[in-house]
Amino acid sequence: MFRFSSTALQLGLHGLAIFWLGLMAGFFWTYSANVNFATLQMDGSTYAMVQSSLNRNVRHAMFFSFFFGPPLLCALAMLTAWPQWRARWWWCLGAAGVLYALGIVVFTAQVNLPLNAYTESWDPRALPSDWAQTRARWNAANLWRAVASAVAFALALFALCARTIGPRR
């Protein structure tokens, strides 16, 4: 029979943090490695319609829970394991959460969202002269998010490995 323990809660939250980070790393990577390349083949009016549609249709509760969840799950996993705050894995998981919070959430708010708003304001029949530069800036910003989320995922995974190996003697 399963007996609930604080260790199970700690590892469960750590595992969920890794899962959420991995999903988001996959999302950003797939977008950068597939969708962005596809948009480079589009003329300006097609790009304006497709990018605006993608931006509008990603705004739903499930996406928001996965987008904002990783730093929260990292923090909860760390809080439940507070007595281990001196352990290297604890700080590594914290670094994953902070990197994701700053490199994805804050970066998105400062860079991608203003570009999204700008793109969504375009009339596909009368594009601004900087539409191609805006597409390039958005694609570069998304590539940054792909790299940052992959590093955060790797840090959280490393933290779990370090946690299971334990302190070096």
For 93, residues 6+ apart whose C-beta sits below 8 A from its C-beta are 14, 17, 74, 77, 78, 155, 156, 159
Indicate the residue type of 57: N
DSSP state of 111: I
The residue with tokens 């480079």 is 40
Distance CA 68, CA 101 (A): 8
CB distance 28 to 70 below 8 Å: no
- Going residue by residue through the chain, which has 169 residues, state the pLDDT in tens, using 9 for 90 and above: 556 678 888 999 999 999 999 999 999 999 999 999 999 999 999 999 999 999 888 889 999 999 999 999 999 999 999 998 999 999 999 999 999 999 999 999 999 999 999 999 999 999 999 999 999 999 999 999 999 999 999 999 999 999 988 765 5
